[in-house]
Amino acid sequence: MWAKFVSVFASFKRLDEDEATASGVSEGPGGAAGDQANRIIFVNRPQPQKFVSNTISTAKYSVPSFVPLFLFEQFRRYSNCFFLLIALLQQIPDVSPTGRWTTLTPLVLILTVSAIKEVVEDFKRHRADDETNRRKVEVLRGATWQLVRWQRLQIGDICRVLNNQFFPADLVLLASSEPQGISFIETSNLDGETNLKIRQATPETARLDNLAALADFQATIQCEPPNRHLYEFNGMLKETNTRSVPLALDQMLLRGALLRNTAWVHGVVVYTGHETKLMMNSTKAPLKRSSIDKQTNTHILMLFMILLALSLLSAGCSELWVRARHANTDWYLGLDEAQNANFGFNFLTFLILYNNLIPISLQVTAEIVRFFQAKFIAMDGEMYHAESDTPALARTSNLNEELGMVRYVFSDKTGTLTCNVMDFHKCSIAEIIYNRPGPNEKLEDTLLYQNLQRNHPTAPVIREFLTMLAICHTVIPEVVDGKINYHAASPDERALVMGAAAFGYVFETRTPEGVAVRLGAAGPASFAVLHVLAFTSARKRMSVIVRTPAGQIRLYCKGADSVIYPRLAGGPQHARYAQATLAHLEHFAAEGLRTLVFAVADIPDHVYADWSNTYHKASIAIQDRERKLEEAALLIENNLRLLGATAIEDKLQDGVPETIAALLKANINVWVLTGDKQETAINIAHSARLIHAAMPLVLLNEESLDGTRETLSRHCADFGDNLRKENDVALIIDGKTLKYAMGCDLKKDFLDLCLSCKVVVCCRVSPIQKAEVVELVSRATGAVTLAIGDGANDVAMIQRASVGVGISGVEGLQAVCASDYSIAQFRFLLRLLLVHGAWNYSRISKLILYSFYKNICLYVIELWFAIYSAWSGQILFERWTIGFYNVIFTALPPFAIGLFDKLCSPEIMLRHPVLYIPSQQGLLFNVRVFWIWAVNALLHSVLLFWLPMLLASHHVLWPSGKDGGYLVVGNFVYTYVVLTVCLKAGLATHSWTWVTHVSIWGSVALWFLFILIYSNVYPVVGVGAVMRGMDRMVFSSLVFWFGLLLIPVAALVPDLVVTVIHNSAFKSMTEAVRESEIKKRDPAALLAHPRHSWTYVRYMIRGMTAIKCLTETARLLQNVRSVFGRRSAAGAAADLELSREYPPHAAPFSPLASHSLSSVRRGHLCRGSSQVTL
């Protein structure tokens, strides 16, 4: 049986004898040609080359670099560059009508605020860096231990780290206080996992547990260059005249990890400072910009073009007025003698005059508002998870409003929809299903125990299966108060070990040489662990090679059925077991349970000896070690004998079905991307209310590119006119078919099919496939996408999505660290989107629109005054009042709107998810809405300028008949503008608070206070000479007070009338619900028959049309059973069995849905059989 494997080993050995070509490993420090990039370290000796310092810095700035770096960051923003240009133009003599400092002063003020924020944040980073760099560790110097600061640590140094201390650099473990060089570490700072991990020194260095041995120790370490892969390390250690020893992750102690339950360890430094894996992983997530930011930049660009056009037009009109009409006739004006009377000077003058059409304070206002919005998310007690003491967290504030525009949610399954708390549920052994003992059931009463006691024919298989459960893993036992606690790298492994313990097969201790277990009635036994072939996402299996107490070498292999079954040995009995186990696997998956298959092989000693030599040579390779190890593993993981399968239960998190149902009502499509089996994913989708029983399922399970192309074309044709329109159909696709579907020539058809389905579930997908699906939908649709996950395998899709949400679960914090927002439970996503998302979208939209409105309202008045003053370029307002308009007098209302305005109460938003649709559709901020606000501001500026000019034209500002000049009228107009724009903020506010009142009335009061003070500072302060006595002139005019009552009202009454008409005749759904809430009425009846805005009506019409079409399709589906082919009696019985698993209130299966599930269960694929014409 093993003869062919022996010949394979022999050929593999011959290939490996030329180490320079087979493994690329040199036994000396030089290495082969391919290893020139590898790092060579001389232990306990000076290094021949210089390596980076162990000093780390996470700060953005240093003292000398702060000014240039800060200014570079700030002037990457186009708006800041524009205002800097204006400030420079104002320095040209006789060009600026507003003085030299009116733009530079607010710009400097804004930059100063940003600089203070940067300094405060960076000071905290510097302080944390100093604290870290000044920590001390014991380092071997000569023959003594010396305390040395971390920042003085060098490559090749030997350190001693004590219990509960952090590792100061990336170390290779040499020895520890525990037997055989074992140590326990906690890596929560690296990946968030709090379970203990085991690290073990090689037997060759485990003896270095004393000063004398360490002082005499000299060796060379050859390892890979620094990289950011936390779970990979390849190297080798060689002492003089000894065999090279492979180094792997098991010998790696990473900076940031914590030593636990170990008195001390000795390690040699291999990576320092910013070359440690911790620091190389401290990169920022990709920069993301919200949709509103992108639109705002477009509007700013358009306004800039308008600004240039107005400046050119005004300069042209000025030139025409002077040269063509008045230069010769109005000689007394001295037009010929003016130094700046030319087109170029006039253009610059008007460019400066009109520059404030673009709000200078918008960027800093939006940043501050978003910062506090992020704080509100973190402070929301409704998203606090008391059990894990985890609040919600906004890791970025740039995407707050993007949460209100999500169209697609891509979700992981395990740990995201489910709890990721695994429970051993049942198992299949030799064609028999056994349940785990219940909480009140004795072991003696279980069928498995009885079969063992009665010496059932399958008893030897049962014992072998339970033995494998107890020893085929990497779990670490810890005895606390006489009770064994298991620390596992994954919840599945812990569940399997505890499942074995429930049947009396208890895993007790682990040593470097092996494991000790209690094998039920047989008592304790020890197994020598010879090799562990670790699990990877590519292998989808793990194996251990052990020597049994009887001296026999045995390989235990567990993994997915798709990788174990092809490696099974032949034979009729094996075939019978395999078919029965496969049926049980499908049954387990239909119940939503996670499955694994277990197999064993006995290995002859001579075969193992040959293989071990091959594996050793692969393990000391520096280049392509993983590939070579995989090739070596493939040689031994064959000719397996099936033992059985396990079923592990991973329950849904609380509130998941209700959350998904609400998301679907909010017009959000939910896609599930999981690595689990197809049947498991389908069942979870049913449990989570993502798929209902009557929903047709379109399954894509193809084995080839041509088959995938044919099936995609057929299904796209079946949808007909409803292609790319949402239909009540679920698409299920596996990872292999997805690989073909994501090819260039099939990508469009696949996307069309996905967008035609209401639900998409991708099964057996890899992390990169998750990211590719998210990126495909994001780019093709332009919609806002959200990816949510909890594990390291979700990081890629979280970073590719418009918004990434991490769940802080039991798989660590890698997903959280890569995310934009983090929550503790999936159910909190509903509040994050429907409440905070919708609120923040509305708030930021109004803030931006209002900021543009108030600037257009004031600064277009300069255009009207230019017309009035014969295009002179003169300003109507005092120069400092122009500069302070944005930063003082109208600064507070945008903050009130951006922080405290809300559409409806959170309870109403959550109870009626359809209220999310207006923000999702972008109805509150788009080109149309922007120009409505702009035109409204334009009309207000007309009234606010020409009405005061009309009053002033009769020279009746005071009873004496005196005329105060243009500046008096300018202050009249300025006061009316401030009052009008503040009241406009009130009209735009939906939810008034005391902050709203303070911001509106306080802004008006600030202007009056300013004019009182500023009118009396000259000559005490050398500014404001033209404003001296202005308060008495303005406030003594009855015309001013009359205009104060009349003109703002005249400007805002049309707005009020339009609002009343709109809310009466064209009331939107949101406005109607808000009105019902104010009146303390239940809006449920209103939502049953709403009076929507036309936009929403059109959306509902499309939705109702689709529903009607789907209803007709559902009727047609009852008549198409013949297309599914003949059905066996077993298949029909299986359908009946599966249908009983659903709740009594669920609708009966449609033929398509029933056929799809049964086809999966029988191993047949619904490639073309699930033909649906919609």
Residue 820 known to bind ligand: no
Amino acid symbol at 585: L
In which band, very low, low, confident or very high, does the pLDDT at 743 lie, cut at 50, 70 and 90?
A: confident
Q: In what order do the strands lie in the sheet with 235-239?
A: 39-43, 219-223, 235-239, 245-247
The sign of the torsion formed by the CA atoms of 719, 724, 725, 726 equals positive
The model's pTM is 0.77
CA torsion through residues 600, 602, 607, 611, sign: positive
Residues 663-690 have pLDDT tens digits of: 999 999 999 998 887 888 888 898 898 9
pLDDT value at 581 more than 80: yes
Q: Band the pLDDT of 330: cuts 50, 70, 90.
A: low
Q: At what angle do helices 491-502 and 459-471 cross, to 10 degrees?
A: 140
| Per-residue CA distances from 313 to 346, 350, 871, 931 (Å) | 10, 9, 10, 21
Percentage of the chain lying above the pLDDT 70 cut: 86
Q: What is the pLDDT of residue 335?
A: 56
Average pLDDT of the segment spanning 850-874? 92
pLDDT of the residue at 24:
34
Q: Is 170 annotated as a binding residue?
A: no
Choice among 174-183, 603-612, 984-993, 1111-1120 with the minimum mean pLDDT: 1111-1120
Structure tokens at 993: 């608070």
Question: Which residue is listed with tokens 């209401």?
Answer: 758
State the DSSP string of 319-364.
HIIIIIIITTT-GGG-GGG-TT-SHHHHHHHHHHHHGGGS-TTHHH
Query: According to the model, what pLDDT value does residue 964 have?
Result: 74
Task: State whether 121 and 165 are in the same domain.
Answer: no
pLDDT at 36 over 60: no
3-state secondary structure of 52: coil
Residue 445: active-site member: no
Determine which of 450-454, 525-529, 835-839 has the lowest per-residue pLDDT on average.
450-454
Once rounded to an integer, what is the mean pLDDT over residues 957-985? 88
Same-domain status, 637 and 507:
yes
In 3D, which of 585, 545, 580 has the Cα closest to residue 562?
585
Domain residues for the domain of 1031 are 362-367+841-1051
Phi/psi of residue 271, nearest 5 degrees: -135, 140
Q: Which residue has the higher pLDDT, 667 or 360?
A: 667
Structural contact between residues 1092 and 1100, judged by C-beta atoms closer than 8 angstroms: yes
Euclidean distance between CA atoms 811 and 492, whole angstroms: 11
Per the CB < 8 A criterion, the answer to whether 899 and 843 are in contact is yes
- Boundary residue ending a domain (629, 649, 669): 649
Residue 969 dihedral angles phi and psi, to the nearest 5°: -65, -35
Same domain, residue pair 78 and 215? no
Has residue 1 got a pLDDT over 60?
A: no
Confidence of residue 775 (pLDDT cuts 50, 70, 90): very high
Q: How many Å from the N-terminal Cα to the C-terminal Cα in the chain? A: 56
Active-site pick, 35, 412, 718, 820: 412
- Which residue has tokens 């007025």? 321
Point out the domain boundary residue: 1051, 1070, 1086.
1051
Closest by CA to 1135, choosing from 1119, 1148, 1123, is: 1148
Predicted confidence band of residue 1169 (pLDDT cuts 50, 70, 90): very low
Beta bridge partners of 485: 478
Please check whether residues 570 and 448 belong to one and the same domain.
yes
Q: Residue 331 has which token pair? A: 């000689």
Cα 583 to Cα 595: distance, rounded to the nearest angstrom: 12
Q: Which residues of 880-906 are buried (b: 16+ CB within 10 A; e: fewer)?
A: bbbbbbbbbbbbbbbbbbbbbbbbbeb
Handedness of CA 1084, 1089, 1092, 1095 (dihedral sign): positive
pLDDT at residue number 283: 55
Instruction: Determine if residue 135 is labeled as part of a ligand binding site.
Output: no
Region 317-324 average pLDDT: 78
Tokens (6 digits) for 381 = 């007690």
* pLDDT of 887: 86
| Residue 332: predicted pLDDT | 57
1162 lies in a domain?
no
Higher-pLDDT residue of 1124 and 1038 is 1038
- The single-letter DSSP state of residue 886 is I
pLDDT band at 843 (very low <50, low <70, confident <90, very high): very high
By C-alpha distance, which of 35, 19, 41 is closest to 238? 41
Same domain, 461 and 607: yes
Q: How does residue 712 score in pLDDT terms, banded at 50, 70 and 90?
A: very high
Answer for the pair 1003, 988: CB distance below 8 angstroms, yes or no: no
Q: Please check whether residue 418 is in contact with residue 810, taking contact to mean a CB–CB distance below 8 angstroms.
A: no
Is there a contact between 581 and 595 (Cβ–Cβ < 8 Å)? no
Please determine, for residue 537, whether its predicted confidence score (pLDDT) is greater than 80: no
User: Is residue 250 located within the same domain as residue 121?
Assistant: no
Choice among 157-166, 1035-1044, 1059-1068, 1165-1174 with the minimum mean pLDDT? 1165-1174
Pair 162, 111 in one domain: no
* Three-state secondary structure call for residue 1017: coil
Position with higher pLDDT, 1171 vs 124 = 124
Predicted local distance difference test score (pLDDT) of residue 1156: 34
Residue 620 domain flag: yes
What pLDDT is stored for residue 327 in this prediction? 56
Average pLDDT over residues 466-488: 88
**One-letter-per-residue 3-state SS of 778-837:** HHHHCCEEEEEECCHHHHHHHHHCCEEEEECECCECHHHHHCCEEECCCCHHHHHHHHHH
Position with higher pLDDT, 92 vs 264: 264
For residue 129, say whether it is annotated as part of any ligand binding site: no
Known binding residue 676? Answer is: yes
Is residue 594 annotated as involved in ligand binding?
yes
CB distance 842 to 919 below 8 Å: yes
Average pLDDT, the chain: 84
- Listing DSSP states for 462-479 in one string gives HHHHHHHHHHSS--EEEE
Task: Give yes or no: residues 937 and 973 share one domain.
Answer: yes
Is the separation of the CB atoms in 166 and 254 below 8 Å? Answer: no
pLDDT at 1122: 32
Q: Is 334 annotated as a binding residue?
A: no
Tell me the CATH number at 272: 2.70.150.10
Q: Residue 490: which CATH number?
A: 3.40.1110.10
Confidence of residue 1123 (pLDDT cuts 50, 70, 90): very low
98 and 164 together in one domain: no
Helix axes 927-952, 1038-1065, angle to 10 degrees: 150
Name the residue with higher pLDDT: 163 or 872: 163
Angle between helices 892-900 and 362-379 (to 10 degrees): 30
Local structure of residue 404 (DSSP, 8 states): G
Q: What is the pLDDT of residue 645?
A: 96
Is residue 670 in some structural domain?
no
Q: What is the pLDDT of residues 1137-1165, one digit of tens each?
A: 333 333 333 333 333 333 333 333 323 33
DSSP 568-614: B---HHHHHHHHHHHHHHHHHHHTT-EEEEEEEEEE-HHHHHHHHHH
Per-residue pLDDT for 729 more than 80?
Answer: yes
Phi/psi for 198 (5° steps) reads -100, 140
The CA distance from 783 to 726, in Å, is 15
* Residue 192 pLDDT grade (very low, low, confident, very high; cuts 50, 70, 90): low
* pLDDT given for residue 1174 in this prediction: 31
Count: domains in the chain: 4
**pLDDT in the model for residue 1005:** 96
Say if residues 814 and 191 touch (Cβ distance below 8 Å).
yes
Tokens of 428: 């299949």
Please check whether residue 399 lies inside any domain of the structure: no
Specify whether 85 is located in the same domain as 198. Answer: no
Across 892-1026, the runs of DSSP E, i.e. the strands, are none
| Residue 594 counted as domain residue | yes
User: φ and ψ at 632, to 5 degrees?
Assistant: -65, -40
Let me know whether 230 and 123 are in one domain.
Answer: no
At 216, phi and psi to the nearest 5?
A: -90, -10
pLDDT value of residue 20: 34
Decide which of 606, 634, 649 is a domain's last residue: 649
Question: Minimum mean pLDDT among 41-45, 311-315, 473-477: which range?
Answer: 473-477
- Does the bond joining 1019 to the residue before it have cis omega, within 30 degrees of 0? yes
Instruction: Give the tokens for residue 179.
Output: 């037997």
H helices of 45-143, where?
Answer: 66-74, 78-89, 104-133
Question: Is 996 annotated for ligand binding?
Answer: no
1031 in any annotated domain = yes
Examine residue 1086 and state whether it is found in any structural domain, yes or no. Answer: no
Over range 512-540, report the average pLDDT.
Answer: 88
Residues 6+ apart with CB under 8 A from 1035: none
Question: HSE (CB half, 13 Å, CA atoms) of 1065?
Answer: 6
Q: Residue 970 domain-assigned?
A: yes
The pLDDT assigned to 636 comes to 94
**Residue percentage of the chain with pLDDT more than 90:** 49
Q: Are 817 and 806 in contact (CB under 8 A)?
A: yes
State yes or no: pLDDT of 216 exceeds 70: yes
Residue 793 assigned to a binding site: yes
Over residues 450-472, the mean pLDDT reads 93
The reply to whether 806 sits in an annotated binding site is no
Residues 127 and 263 in one domain: no
* Contact present, 759 and 781 (Cβ < 8 Å): no
Given CA atoms 744, 748, 749, 752 in this order, what sign does their dihedral have? Answer: positive
Q: Is the pLDDT of residue 27 over 90?
A: no
Which helix (DSSP H) or strand (DSSP E) does residue 379 occupy? helix 362-379
Q: Which residues contact 177 (CB under 8 A, 6 or more apart)?
A: 209, 262, 263, 264, 265
770 is in an annotated binding site: yes
| Pairwise CA distance, residues 171 & 155, whole Å | 9
Of 436, 435, 571, 449, which Cα lies nearest the Cα of 520?
449
Please state the rounded mean pLDDT for residues 627-632: 88
**How many Cα atoms occupy the beta-carbon half-sphere of 697 within 13 Å?**
32
